[in-house]
Structure 1
Amino acid sequence: MKRGPLLHAELSRLIAGMGHGDLLVIGDAGLPIPAGPLRIDLAVTRGVPRFADVLQAVLAELQVERAVVAQEACTPGQGRPPPWCDALQPVVPQCVPHAQLKQLCLGAKAMVRTGECTPYMNVLLYAGVVF
């Protein structure tokens, strides 16, 4: 059995195979998943699993170089990422309009659907390198 926190075999295999710059999206239950990226659907019921729990497990295994979140989730007028983005530190996510975020998803290697039902609770994670 794996020692790290991420036990989901398909998600673990995906992260192990990611290269520098590859894009992984973690989304709420309503984020549309376009044809193309691998779909990893974890949603069981409303709120299960929570976005924050999935993000925490992924961040324990993925080196993140940069991140993107929807501008609609950011502090109005200030463009600051929402508080849940603190989990990404030291990476400070870029805030882009939700329509642009959905376009960026077209280039994703995979998209993970959670049971989260909070609007705009989505993050694009670009893989970094550990050296």
Structure 2
Amino acid sequence: MLRNIPPILSPELLYTLRAMGHGDELVIGDANFPAESIGPTALRLDGIPATQLLEAVLTLMPLDAFVDSPAHVMQVVGDPDAVPEIVQKFQEIIDTTADIPARIASLERFDFYDRARTAFAVVQTGETRLYGNIILTKGVIAP
């Protein structure tokens, strides 16, 4: 056991977060996300909601302050201006937990998948709410 580390973060995920460098991206995917087939290393946290994982990750990982949008979600197919409840919750978590304020940007579904293919890793959660996917860009920890 370690202190001050959210217990839902598995040893594999802690290793992954530590191994990531500035500008690397992490995908938090819902239960429907094609984590295994998308390409990068896939980790599983079945039974954990994406919102709970986002909050835990942001307690350890800084968001990138050098890009316009260090967080991206998938647009609703057929209604790109819609903001699902889970995306609103993601924004609230970023507003209250992240080290820098950041507005979430959205990507068309297949653009989201293309970006996810180049991520450092994908964490598939047990999230059942649709569009419960987010890509985070890791920042730096200042000296």
Give the TM-score normalised by the residue count of structure 1.
Answer: 0.85
Post-superposition offset of 1:78: 7.2
Instruction: Answer yes or no: is 1:124 the counterpart of 2:126.
Output: no
Kept after mapping to 2: 8 A contact 1:79/1:95: no
User: What amino acid does structure 1 have at the position aligned with 2:61?
Assistant: L
Deviations 1:22-56 (A, max 9, x none): 0100010001123531111111xxxx211111111
Q: Unaligned 5+ residue runs, structure 1? A: none
**Residue aligning to 1:71:** 75
Instruction: Pick closer, same or farther for the CA change 1:5–1:64 going to 2, 3 Å.
Output: same
User: What amino acid does structure 2 have at the position aligned with 1:38?
Assistant: T
Q: Unaligned 5+ residue runs, structure 2? A: 65-69, 96-100
Residue of 115, 118, 141 corresponding to 1:107:
118
Kept after mapping to 2: 8 A contact 1:4/1:60: no
Post-superposition offset of 1:6: 3.1
Instruction: Answer yes or no: is 1:36 the counterpart of 2:39.
Output: yes
User: What amino acid does structure 1 have at the position aligned with 2:34?
Assistant: P
**Residue aligning to 1:4:** 4
SS of alignment partner, residue 31 of structure 1: coil
Kept after mapping to 1: 8 A contact 2:30/2:126: yes
User: What amino acid does structure 1 have at the position aligned with 2:41?
Assistant: L
Post-superposition offset of 1:94: 0.9
User: What amino acid does structure 2 have at the position aligned with 1:107?
Assistant: T
Post-superposition offset of 1:79: 7.0
SS of alignment partner, residue 91 of structure 1: coil
User: What amino acid does structure 2 have at the position aligned with 1:126?
Assistant: T
CA-based RMSD of the aligned residues comes to 2.2
Structure 2 distance, partners of 1:94, 1:107, is 17
**Residue aligning to 2:20:** 18
Structure 1 distance, partners of 2:61, 2:51, is 15
SS of alignment partner, residue 59 of structure 1: helix
Count of residues in correspondence between the two structures: 126
- Which residues in structure 2 correspond to 1:44-63 (within 5 Å)? 48-63=47-62
Higher percent of residues as helix: 2
Give the TM-score normalised by the residue count of structure 2.
Answer: 0.79
Q: Kindly, what percent of the aligned residue pairs are identical? A: 31
